[in-house]
Amino acid sequence: MTIDVHGHVTPPELLKKFPMPPVLGDVDGMIERKAALGITTTVVGSPVGYGTMLPVPGNDNYNQSPADLARFHEWVAETVRAKAGALTGYVYANPFSADDVARAAEWLREKEFTGLIVNSSVRGEFLDDARSDDFFAMAEETGAPVLLHPPAVPVAAGSMKKVGGIEHVVRPCDITMGVAAILLAGRLPRFPGLKLIAPNAGGALALLREKLDMAQRRDNVDGPPISEQLTKIYVDTATPSLPALKAALEVFGPDRLLFGTDSPPLATSLDAALGMVDALGLSDVDAVLHDNAAALFGLGQEELRRAS
């Protein structure tokens, strides 16, 4: 049994409202394709809530009404319930919005939700700002894993002219910078119970371990060396690069690797995604494919039995 910690789904009304890949609405197809390869459970949600990752003139993903967000989460909960253990949900929130944070804590009380999904930057700002303190305190208190997903408009997106460049270059850089900002702001020593997930193998964080220590010393940031704090961060395997995945394994450790595909919407070859994990040559591959995620998200044997 394999758990995929990184999948996205979208309600039918949003597919009609915004130009988005139709595969986001094919929940049954996703489950069937993954089950055929032994991927029995997917953690699903949206990094934009009742919004879209594609550019739409006049649309602001951070200007969502409480009613729209409630309707979105109700649909996710209903979908999770209907799929008999094959899915579990992420609650979306804007970490700079006190109202969003309070509502997210309420949704986390529902059994269909086992994690949080927020953006690694919000309107060009990273989460090292004090306005995110209430969010991190809530995440620590609830014990919910936090997927730090890049936003629709990442930092420096305006300087990249190509959509593919934004999607496949700028967004991983947003993850890198966003997590680095959190670490340099001393969030982990302040909130030691945080369970942070950096997708896409952590972006380029694994290549910056020593540089992050240098930045910490330069800025006189208190706390353990950031190179040590990196071993507290979880990363998923949603990358097409085996060298990146090997670097993540070395820096974060095998107990912090989680199988993830970012599928849907990405047309990820599930065979290739599983093959990448096998290529790491781990003595305990089940830890990455299942055990780490099961422990992190609190997925017990009953849920996994129903999923299989």
Q: What's the DSSP call for residue 139?
A: H
Stretch 28-48: mean pLDDT: 96
Q: What is the pLDDT of residue 301?
A: 58
Q: What is the predicted pLDDT for the residue at 266?
A: 83
Residue 170: which pLDDT band, with cuts at 50, 70 and 90?
very high
pLDDT surpasses 60 at 308:
no
Looking at per-residue pLDDT, the higher value among 18 and 102 belongs to 102
Q: What is the pLDDT of residues 184-233, one digit of tens each?
A: 999 999 999 999 999 999 999 999 999 999 999 999 999 999 999 999 99
**pLDDT tier at 29, thresholds 50, 70, 90:** very high
Show the DSSP H helices in the chain as ranges. 12-17, 27-35, 66-82, 98-107, 133-142, 163-165, 171-184, 187-190, 199-202, 209-218, 226-229, 242-252, 270-279, 285-286, 292-297, 301-307
Topology of domain 2-307, per CATH?
TIM Barrel (3.20.20)
Residues 6+ apart with CB under 8 A from 14: 20, 50, 52, 72
Give the per-residue pLDDT at 307: 53
Flag whether pLDDT at 265 surpasses 60.
yes
Tokens 């394999």 map to which residue? 2
**Residue 306 in this model has a pLDDT that exceeds 70:** no
> What average pLDDT does range 16-42 have in this prediction?
94
pLDDT at 12: 94
CB atoms within 10 A of CB 153: 22
Residue 76 to residues 34, 68, 92, 254, 290: CA-CA distances in angstroms? Answer: 19, 13, 11, 31, 23
Percent of the chain with pLDDT over 70: 97
The structure tokens listed for 263 are 């599928």
Locate tokens 């990820």: which residue?
A: 268
Quick one: pLDDT band at residue 126, thresholds 50, 70, 90?
very high
Whether the per-residue pLDDT at 10 is higher than 90: the answer is yes
pLDDT, average across residues 167-196:
97
171-184 and 209-218 helices, crossing angle to 10°: 40
pLDDT of residue 278: 96
Q: In this predicted structure, what is the pLDDT of residue 259?
A: 98
pLDDT tens digits, 76-119: 999 999 998 899 999 999 999 999 999 999 999 999 999 999 99
Q: Is the pLDDT of residue 250 over 90?
A: yes
Q: How confident is the model at residue 289 (pLDDT cuts 50, 70, 90)?
A: very high
Q: What percent of the chain has pLDDT over 90?
A: 89
Question: Average of pLDDT values for 26-34?
Answer: 96
Residue 303: per-residue pLDDT: 53
CA 90/CA 176 separation, integer angstroms: 21
CA distance 222 to 61: 35
Place of tokens 């799929």: 83
Domain boundaries, the chain: 2-307
